[in-house]
């Protein structure tokens, strides 16, 4: 229940002299003229989710601004001091994307870190998220921060924290940082006045070392040489990939790379886009137009911080088709595993990682080729955690999640759109070398391992009321779970909040060994899988649907695809989504 008087009291504290004039003016306007905006801005404090601190920019405790960022930075600083072996030599790497205020927020964070006695390694300009992850490892940092809101709309910005392994913070560090942030009762507790000489600029040398690692991922450079003229269109969607992705493709040996000129201009307003999200078909519209004009074979797009990748490929008819995240992940997984197996470089201890809501096709490809496949919760922080646990015991060779994030190498511990672009282009070159397109290669994979169809439905519920509605939906599914959906019996329910999977046919209950998470999965008798989870970074609840069938011949693809489509659509309709 929202207590407006408590919210007004909370907001009134932001009228003090410690806040700048613009902030005080915005808060005063909300208090006098816009109660709903006031509630949304102050009803809660921003917290770390799967992507860290993220929110709409503006004044308020539930907004992204210099003060919420400042408290997060001070809380992180306090936590680092308590856990570093040598607090006097703490180093933190800082990067930012192309969003409005990102450069400013990065400088604010650097100032606070040095005021706490740290050394801040600040990139000389915007950089992709994977480069920040690499920099942490390269420079031996205790932590890292990138100012980004990934693929969210222009109103958003965020603050993503990585630990000393280059991966996003996980338990207990994430909870520990939040506790430190919550212990700060006033912005006056944020340290200021540090030695500016402790802000060290980094850039070109880090980029060079990172690109050397990207090049090492290439499995068949001779095939690229034979297909170096393949046409590739790339759009950074006004973001950080504008330089490094084309550079990586050229480093691999591709000669006909065509960046979309209008979208190669870094701009936090994303003027040519409705949303800077490569998952959205509209985001690739300009790239597709250029691809048709250039007669290119492959279209690629990365989001503003260049950690996610969306692609479009040509069908034999000549028309382009946009692949979903599972399909791109399957192509990358198949290419890495099949080529390492063919080259004799699989030693028997390799593994891949994907999430519990990613297509089971990736598991099937790995297991059929003697490669382990681990499933983790949604969020690349869990990839990094598992990679750290298995370091020196097993060898990570790839992985990804359905939301367009992939990591082809282990030198980075976050999603890597730059390396993924290079390797998917190499996969296309391999396909061309064998007389086929990426689309035809995908159909071959379906024929060998099974046809998988997935759909995602996101239900957006903004603000305090929306958060309450999402909570109520999840509680309803738990207290009164469906016994049947679209005419097919629910045979198993996995609840990651109580960490238990219940077989409704045998009555057997099995513990789920992953960390507690607000995720429910329903398994139907016909093989359909439904996963439900509130987003950790956006005001929405996500429903993931998956159905599969054997596919004996490429010619049956269209018919079987429509059948799986109809099965999933019936489930969506029955769930009233």
Q: How far is CA 285 from CA 12, 271, 316, in A?
A: 46, 14, 20
Half-sphere exposure of 226 (CA within 13 A, CB side): 12
C-alpha to C-alpha distance for 451 and 567, rounded to whole angstroms = 14
Please tell me the distance from the alpha carbon of residue 245 to that of residue 420, in angstroms, as a whole number.
Answer: 9
| Cα–Cα distance, 374 to 505 (Å, whole number) | 26
Cα(204)–Cα(529) distance, rounded to whole angstroms? Answer: 46
Please name which of 382, 440, 371 lies closest in space to residue 407, comparing C-alpha atoms.
Answer: 382
Which tokens is 324 given?
């979903």
Is residue 150 annotated as part of the catalytic site, yes or no? Answer: yes
CB atoms within 10 A of CB 5: 7
Q: Strand 199-202 and strand 309-314: pairing?
A: unpaired
Phi, psi for 47 (deg, rounded to 5): -130, 165
Q: Report how far apart the first and last C-alpha atoms of the chain are (Å, whole number).
A: 26
Quick count: other Cβ atoms within 10 Å of Cβ 459? 16
Give the separation between CA 141 and CA 164, rounded to whole angstroms. Answer: 6
259 Cβ contact partners less than 8 Å away, ≥ 6 residues apart = 233, 234, 235, 236, 242, 246
DSSP label of 15: G
Q: Measured between alpha carbons, how far is 60 from 13 in angstroms, rounded to an integer?
A: 10
CA–centroid distance for 394 within its chain: 24
Q: Which residues pair with 166 in a beta bridge?
A: none
Please calculate the CA angle 290-336-298 and round it to the nearest 5 degrees. 10
Q: Determine whether 214 is exposed, middle or buried from the number of CB atoms within 10 Å of its CB (0-12, 13-18, 19+).
A: buried
> Using an 8 Å Cβ cutoff, are 275 and 153 in contact?
yes
Instruction: Check 77, 150, 264, 548 and give the catalytic one.
Output: 150
Complete edge-to-edge strand list for the sheet that includes strand 395-401: 372-376, 350-355, 395-401, 405-406
Q: How far apart are CA 346 and CA 355, in angstroms?
A: 23
Q: What residues act catalytically?
A: 150
């Amino acid at each position: 229940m929202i207590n407006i008087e408590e919210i007004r009291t909370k907001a009134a504290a932001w009228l003090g002299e410690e806040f700048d004039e613009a902030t005080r003016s915005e808060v005063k306007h909300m208090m006098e003229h816009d109660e709903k905006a006031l509630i949304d801005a102050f009803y809660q404090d921003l917290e770390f989710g799967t992507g860290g601190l993220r929110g709409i920019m503006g004044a308020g405790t539930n907004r992204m601004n210099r003060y919420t960022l400042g408290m997060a930075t001070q809380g992180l600083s306090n936590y680092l001091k308590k856990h570093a072996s040598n607090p006097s030599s703490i180093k933190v790497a800082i990067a930012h994307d192309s969003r409005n205020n990102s450069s400013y927020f990065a400088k604010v964070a650097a100032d606070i870190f040095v005021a706490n006695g740290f050394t801040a390694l600040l990139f000389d300009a915007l950089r992709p998220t994977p480069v920040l992850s690499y920099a942490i490892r390269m420079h031996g940092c205790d932590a890292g921060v990138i100012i980004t809101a990934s693929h969210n709309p222009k109103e958003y910005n965020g603050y993503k924290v990585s630990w000393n392994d280059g991966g996003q913070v996980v338990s207990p560090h994430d909870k520990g940082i939040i506790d430190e942030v919550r212990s700060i009762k006033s912005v006056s507790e944020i340290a200021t006045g540090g030695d500016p000489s402790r802000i060290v600029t980094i850039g070109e040398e880090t980029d060079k070392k990172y690109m050397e690692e990207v090049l090492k991922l290439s499995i068949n450079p001779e095939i690229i040489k034979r297909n170096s003229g393949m046409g590739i269109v790339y759009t950074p969607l006004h973001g950080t990939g504008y330089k490094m992705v084309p550079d990586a493709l050229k480093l691999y040996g591709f000669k006909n790379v065509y960046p979309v000129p209008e979208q190669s201009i870094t701009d936090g307003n994303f003027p040519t886009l409705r949303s800077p999200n490569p998952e959205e078909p509209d985001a690739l519209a300009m790239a597709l137009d250029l691809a048709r004009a250039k007669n290119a074979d492959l279209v690629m797009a990365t989001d503003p911080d260049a950690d996610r990748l969306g692609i479009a490929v040509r069908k034999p008819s000549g028309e382009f088709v946009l692949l979903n995240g599972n399909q791109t992940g399957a192509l990358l997984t198949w290419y890495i595993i099949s080529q390492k197996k063919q080259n004799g470089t699989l030693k028997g201890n390799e593994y891949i990682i994907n999430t519990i809501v990613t297509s089971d096709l990736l598991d099937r490809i790995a297991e059929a080729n003697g490669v382990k496949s681990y499933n983790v919760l949604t969020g690349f922080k869990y990839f990094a955690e598992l990679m750290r646990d298995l370091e020196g015991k097993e060898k990570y060779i790839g992985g990804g999640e359905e939301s367009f994030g992939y990591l082809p190498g282990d030198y980075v511990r976050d999603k890597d759109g730059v390396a993924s672009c290079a390797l998917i282009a190499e996969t296309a070159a391999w396909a061309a070398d064998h007389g086929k397109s990426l689309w035809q290669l995908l159909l071959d994979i379906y024929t060998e391992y099974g046809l998988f169809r997935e759909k995602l439905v996101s239900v957006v519920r903004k603000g305090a009321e929306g958060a309450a509605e999402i909570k109520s939906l999840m509680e309803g599914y738990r207290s009164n779970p469906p016994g049947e959906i679209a005419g097919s019996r629910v045979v198993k329910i996995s609840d990651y909040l109580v960490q238990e999977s219940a077989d409704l046919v045998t009555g057997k209950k099995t513990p789920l060994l992953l960390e507690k998470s607000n995720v429910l999965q329903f398994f139907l008798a016909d093989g359909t899988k439904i996963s439900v989870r509130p987003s950790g970074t956006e005001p929405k609840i996500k429903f993931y649907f998956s159905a599969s069938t054997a596919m004996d011949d490429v010619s049956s693809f269209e018919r079987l695809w429509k059948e799986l489509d109809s099965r999933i659509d019936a489930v969506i309709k029955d769930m009233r989504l």
